[in-house]
Amino acid sequence: MRQILGYILTPLFYLVFGLILGVFHPVQVICWNLWGYKAHKRSVDILNLFLIKSLGILGARVGFFGFDSLPLDKPLIIISNHQSMFDIPPIVWGFRKQHAKFISKKELGHGIPSISYNLRKGGSVLIDRKDARQALEEIKNLGQKIEKMNYSAVIFPEGT
């Protein structure tokens, strides 16, 4: 019965998901332009909390365990499988104190409200999967940045 209810509620979930992205896009732009990185990051954290909570429409529950024991004084590299759009918000929210930055394909840098803006402005890197030299240079730069700032880098190794 729960599975059938999930199928029925999926269009409502996608509507709410899209509305959240649409509402937070101008919020991010305003935060970035008026107050800079810290305000923008806070808006992205809240965006991802809302996206996680929206999963409740489908009956999903998301829990976080062990994040309090993660270090804040050294960079982290987070390697994860990437199954769907549902795994990104928990990573951003769970690792928010570590300032998770993504290694992402350049195609995601345009056209997706909130997500594309955050990838471009929030410190993630957009790589051209057809240009290994550019990709390696971007990844190297991100490595230097996370080392200097004690941020974290997220990569999904099953991608190209």
pLDDT tens for the chain, 160 residues: list them.
Answer: 778 887 899 999 999 999 999 999 999 999 999 999 999 999 999 999 999 999 999 888 899 999 999 999 999 999 998 888 788 999 999 999 999 999 999 999 999 999 999 999 999 999 999 999 999 999 999 999 999 999 999 999 876 5
Contact, 31 vs 43, CB < 8 A? yes
Q: What domain count does the chain have? A: 1
Asked, for residue 121, whether it belongs to a domain, the answer is yes
Residue 17, C-beta contacts closer than 8 angstroms, at least 6 positions apart: 51, 54
Angle at 159 between CA 138 and CA 134, to 5 degrees: 20
Question: Measured between alpha carbons, how far is residue 86 from residues 7, 37, 49, 160 in Å?
Answer: 16, 25, 12, 20
Asked, for residue 124, whether it belongs to a domain, the answer is yes
Asked, for residue 138, whether it belongs to a domain, the answer is yes
Asked, for residue 160, whether it belongs to a domain, the answer is no
Asked, for residue 126, whether it belongs to a domain, the answer is yes
Predicted model pTM: 0.92
In this prediction, residue 60 carries a pLDDT of: 87
Domain that holds residue 95: 2-155
Look-up: residue for tokens 């080392």?
147
Contact, 112 vs 21, CB < 8 A? yes
Asked, for residue 60, whether it belongs to a domain, the answer is yes
